[in-house]
Structure formats: structure tokens, C-alpha cells
């Protein structure tokens, strides 16, 4: 992909139960509430999501939203806020990160607020953003990395059609300082779930 800035794509996606949209100014308050609710769960996998080491604040969440909007416009990062279509409640974030336009490939990452886990919403969201990556960003590959102990995230990967390609041993430090393994999953354009 020589000129990713020329890619046109929608800023909202819909699934059966979710509205996915790029963040904008003013979204920080609702994101902050979910981060504060979920921070203990998120910190269990600190090596995979280092931003949770900081104390959550509404200002930090607002900066995430504004930077997310700007980075999507620059074709550098694509964070989608997940909203329940029935209630409008904020569910979490599923995004596409670290694009390598020379391949082209990208990595999917996600987190779900603690009160909304276990209902298949994240699998639905990951399928949607992965389809977006193949259809609108024209990538050949989507990567997904998860801490080996993060069984929830690893289950999402498999249900969303990703293949476990390998385990990086002692790849990261856990919150306790111990070494952790990282599982690498991949999905190619022709393998969509």
C-alpha cells in the first residue's frame, strides 16, 4: 500500500448487537467510567496493555479519544468504541494498531469493560474490525497477540477465526515481575470467519 492516506473507509460499523465508531472529542467521560470499572482486570495483563499502569483519569481517556480520531485520519491507528445498539452503553474498544503498509498487515487489539464480558460481544467486535481491515484497509494479514494466561482473549481469537501460529516464550513481564509467554495468532484475507 503506497498511499494509505488515500484509503476511504466508514467511521462506523454495525454488527447484530454493536455499533462500532471511531472516537471523537467528548467521548472521554464514558471511556473513563469503563476503564475505572475494569482497571483491576486489565492490569492482570499489564505487559500486553501497558497504558493501564497509569492511574485512570477522565483527561487521559479524553486524550485517548482525541488522539484516536486524529490517528485514524492519519491512517496510523484505528480504535473503534463499542456501543450496545439497544441501550447505547459503552462496552469497550476494539482497534487496529501498528499498520505495516509495506506488507500490508495490521494488529487487532481489544478490551471489554468488566461488567459486559462473557456475552460474546468482543468476538462480534473482533470479527467486525478484522473484516474492516481486509475490506477497507486492504491488508493481507491481521495479527492478534495475547498473554498465554489470558484465556478470555485467546478464546476470542479462536472464535473470531484466528489461527495460533506460535508462542513467544518469556516475551514479556507480568505485573508481578515474572516472565510471561505471548501467543501469536494470525488471520489471512482468505481465511475470514
132-163: pLDDT as tens digits: 999 999 999 999 999 999 999 999 999 999 99
φ and ψ at 111, to 5 degrees? -150, 150
Cell digits of residue 154 = 485467546
Question: Which pLDDT score, from 0 to 100, does residue 48 have?
Answer: 65
**Which is nearest to 80 in space by CA: 10, 144, 142, 148?**
10
User: Could you tell me which residue, 48 or 37, shows the higher pLDDT?
Assistant: 37
In a domain, 18, yes or no: yes
Cell digits of residue 69 = 480520531
* Whole-number Å distance between alpha carbons of 164 and 186: 7
In a domain, 2, yes or no: no
Could you tell me the strand order of the sheet in which 90-100 lies?
Answer: 12-14, 18-21, 78-84, 90-100, 105-112, 141-147, 179-188, 163-173
pLDDT tens digit sequence for 98-132 = 999 999 999 999 999 999 999 999 999 999 999 99
In a domain, 4, yes or no: no
pLDDT band at 52 (very low <50, low <70, confident <90, very high): confident
In a domain, 69, yes or no: yes
In a domain, 1, yes or no: no
- How many domains would you assign to the chain? 1
* CATH number of the CATH domain containing 185: 3.40.630.30
Q: What is the mean pLDDT of the chain?
A: 93
In a domain, 5, yes or no: no
Structural domain containing residue 148: 12-191
In a domain, 6, yes or no: no
Amino acid at each position: 500500500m503506497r498511499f494509505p492516506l488515500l484509503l476511504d473507509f466508514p467511521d462506523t460499523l454495525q454488527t447484530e448487537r454493536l455499533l462500532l465508531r471511531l472516537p471523537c472529542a467528548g467521548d472521554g467521560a464514558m471511556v473513563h467510567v469503563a476503564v475505572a470499572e475494569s482497571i483491576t482486570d486489565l492490569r492482570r495483563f499489564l505487559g500486553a496493555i501497558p497504558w493501564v499502569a497509569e492511574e485512570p483519569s477522565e483527561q487521559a481517556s479524553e486524550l485517548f479519544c482525541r488522539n484516536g480520531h486524529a490517528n485514524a485520519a492519519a491512517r496510523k491507528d484505528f480504535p473503534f468504541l463499542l456501543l450496545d445498539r439497544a441501550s447505547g452503553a459503552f462496552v469497550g474498544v476494539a482497534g487496529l494498531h501498528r499498520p505495516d503498509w509495506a506488507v500490508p498487515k495490521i494488529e487487532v487489539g481489544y478490551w471489554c469493560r468488566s461488567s459486559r464480558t462473557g456475552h460474546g460481544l468482543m468476538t462480534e467486535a473482533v470479527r467486525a474490525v478484522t473484516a474492516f481491515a481486509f475490506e477497507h484497509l486492504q491488508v493481507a494479514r491481521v495479527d492478534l497477540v495475547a498473554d498465554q494466561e489470558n484465556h478470555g482473549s485467546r478464546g476470542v481469537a479462536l472464535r473470531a477465526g484466528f489461527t495460533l501460529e506460535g508462542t513467544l516464550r518469556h516475551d514479556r513481564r507480568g505485573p508481578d515481575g515474572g516472565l510471561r509467554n505471548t501467543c501469536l495468532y494470525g488471520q489471512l484475507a482468505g481465511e475470514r470467519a
